[in-house]
Amino acid sequence: MKRIMLTLMMLTNLSVFSQLNHSSLPVSESGLITFTEVVSVDGVSQETLFTNAYNHLQSLVDNHKKLKKGPYVNEDSTEVNLPLAFTVYRDFPIHSPHGLIKYNLRVSVKEGRYRYVASNFVFHYLERNRYGKFVEVKGKYKYLEDPVYKGSQKLWEEHKQSAAEKVAQVTEMLRADMLLAPEQPTEEIVKVKVNEDW
């Protein structure tokens, strides 16, 4: 009986470790889940790229009900930061919100190229309040890098995959917006009076 229990425990640990190794999210040298890429945009000035990056992040704020603060800009206007969040769900026993994944998106620009870095992924638990709305549980969170989740390990891996999909979606929209040409100022039309005595 002891051998069976020991074997079951070893198999359980082995399955957990195999699940951890299957997580294909990119990790930085410091061990944080980090999505980053340098994208070349030939012939586009640093100022135009900065304006496009700022406008893109501002549009994310404008289109998101829960984001109240706009993008943060560094002193020399070469970097824009925006904290973002999205809801993840569970399907058992019913489809309902499980938590929020908050992360930071940073876009840095140089002449002819930009770099995005999405990092600091943290899962914040949600629960129903007395009015039936799902609200964030204060002080209860879990870093997405944490390999083990008490409960459904499959659900935890799905949340990590949702993070990868969300970042891919946001960065594809960013890529499209970074190629926009700068808006040209509209010329003021001057009305002239035509003299009929010519």
Inform me whether the pLDDT recorded for 198 exceeds 70: no
Find out whether 99 and 123 touch, Cβ atoms under 8 Å. yes
The confidence score (pLDDT) of residue 8 equals 40
Exposed, middle or buried: residue 184 (CB in 10 Å: 0-12, 13-18, 19+)? exposed
Please give the residue that has the higher pLDDT: either 99 or 183: 99
What percentage of the chain reaches a pLDDT higher than 70? 79
Inform me whether the pLDDT recorded for 98 exceeds 70: yes
In terms of residues, how long is the chain?
A: 198
DSSP the chain: -HHHHHHHHHHHHHHHHHHHHH----B-TTS-B-EEEEEE-TT--HHHHHHHHHHHHHHHHHT-TT--S--EE-TTS-EEEEEEEEEEEE-SSS-EEEEEEEEEEEEEEETTEEEEEEEEEEEEEEEE-TTS-EEEEEEEEEETT-S--SS-HHHHHHHHHHHHHHHHHHHHHHHHHHTPPPPPPPPPPPP-PPPS--
Inform me whether the pLDDT recorded for 168 exceeds 90: yes
| Chain centre to alpha carbon of residue 132 | 27
Inform me whether the pLDDT recorded for 13 exceeds 60: no
Inform me whether the pLDDT recorded for 105 exceeds 90: yes
Half-sphere CA count of 183, side-chain side, radius 13 A: 7
Please give the residue that has the higher pLDDT: either 64 or 6: 64
Once rounded to an integer, what is the mean pLDDT over residues 4-27?
Answer: 49
The string of pLDDT tens digits covering residues 124-143 is 999 999 998 999 899 999 99
